[in-house]
Amino acid sequence: MHERSSTGELVKSLKGELDRYSVGEKLPSSRALVERFRVSPVTVARALAQLAAEGLVVTRPGAGTFRARPLMAPPPAGDTSWQEVALSADAATEVVPRAVDASGVLVTLAAPPPGVVEFNGGYLHPTLQPEQAMAAALARAGRRPGAWGRPPMDGLPELRDWFARGIGAGVTAADVLITAGGQSALTTALRALAPPGAPVLVESPTYPGMLAIARASGLRPVPVPGDPQGVRPELLAAAFAATGARVFVTQPLFQNPTGTVLTPERRAEVLRIVHAAGAFVVEDDFARRLVHDDAGPLPPPLAADDPDGVVVHVCSLTKVTSPSLRVGALVARGPVLERLRAIHVVDNFFVPRPLQEAALELVGSPAWSRHLRSISGELRSRRDAMTAALRLGLPQLALPHVPSGGYHLWLRLPDGTDESALVSAALRAGVAVAPGRPYFSAEPPAGHIRLSFAGVAGAAEIAEGVRRLQTACEEIAG
């Protein structure tokens, strides 16, 4: 059972018993709760902390936990209907929209209900996260001299140097800005490189979070289709010519959602086309540390082949560690770096120093290389388990590419399948999947779903999730 579901069940049980205690009366000890409910001390601590946060109990160190005085009833709700007018006034003339559609992002951020198999996740399952190493790193970081002081605006020099060395080819710490994860870095890059109303070229399909950033910034995403070798250069050149765009956003390594890798021949062609257009490439290198252990040598980042400052590189530690370790980097050369720096400072000031210090402690520890090796094997194992289960139980779902990195599979639905109906039926059957529609900036050529194999506990849960998905497919097939 997941820790979060155990905590929720314990909170529910304790709430049901609170009326047995008078105000100020002591509740059973943590040890007694552990024995009675057969849960871990961590679960008990989290449940009591949640009750305290809700004002239902009071904890006194060394004394115990006591029932709190009931809170006064909240005042009656006011009338907020006036906000509909205020928020929608002049919406038709807005260059940068105030209303933002986050639905495509929330699909992979929101945790499904307890008992639902999480095939829609965008992060590692807790059992795959280096929790002990991160906790140790955070503890060491908190004791560093100056750890709670103001960091340099660009980030800690040692951390910037670590990111620079990961790219190579003459990239230095001076070319790096530390950001609050990849999403923040992408937001800064798009705001810096394209004015509101401008077109921005994107792969089709592509990451919904990037499409949401573009639209929230008032940009017009223009799709450029790809194939198993990555984005198609002739279509990229045609899109630049037709739109006058000055930005192309790409994930050349284990692209989300297709999992494809841009071939060496196309890498050079893409850089040549973008350079000739007087444009920038935003390289979202999100999956480099999610390589599977059966992959061959990885190509270097596009930024390593770019002496002229065409590439603005984005990378992050979040995907390979934890959704809460939001530490990433923006890498650029030339005058654009100053614009990126200015926007980043205005929007964020800086990334909290303790988090940067913890990231530095983590990547400098022996546990880091062990974690990367472990993840490489675990992701490959889960990928193989999901691929085998799909081919056996759902052969009608086309799997055009089995990736050697990343954490998901991209499946094409049979012609005529109602994508929304399948997603809803899957949830009723107890498995959450990501619909394909949010990955397209224009009308999709077919129905798709994306299945993550990283957010589950292991092969047994993958098999059960595919079985439930099979039930959903049978339901909508009639």
Domain ranges of the chain: 3-67, 103-129+369-477, 131-364
Residue closest to 411 by CA, chosen among 394, 427, 426, 425: 394
Instruction: Specify the CATH number of the domain 131-364.
Output: 3.40.640.10
Tell me whether the CATH fold assigned to 3-67 matches the one assigned to 103-129+369-477.
no
Locus of tokens 């889960």:
382
At the top level of CATH, which class does the domain 3-67 belong to? mainly alpha
Give the per-residue SS3 of 376-395. Answer: HHHHHHHHHHHHHHHHHHCC
Query: How confident is the model over 98-120, as a mean pLDDT?
Result: 80
Radius of gyration of the chain (CA): 24
Q: Is the pLDDT of residue 286 over 50?
A: yes
| Sequence-separated contacts (24+) of 211-217 with Cβ below 8 Å | 211/104, 211/438, 211/441, 212/100, 212/101, 212/102, 212/104, 212/105, 213/183, 213/186, 213/187, 214/190, 214/249, 215/97, 215/100, 215/101, 216/96, 216/97, 216/100, 217/96, 217/187, 217/190, 217/191
**Minimum mean pLDDT among 34-43, 92-101, 307-316: which range?**
92-101
pLDDT score for 105: 75
Which CATH superfamily hosts domain 103-129+369-477?
Aspartate Aminotransferase, domain 1 (3.90.1150.10)
- 329-359 per-position pLDDT tens digit: 999 999 999 999 999 998 888 899 999 999 9
- 116-166 per-position pLDDT tens digit: 999 998 899 999 999 999 999 999 998 888 888 888 999 999 999 999 999
Q: Is the pLDDT of residue 5 over 70?
A: no
pLDDT score for 21: 87
- 422-467 per-position pLDDT tens digit: 999 999 999 999 999 999 998 888 999 999 999 999 999 999 999 9
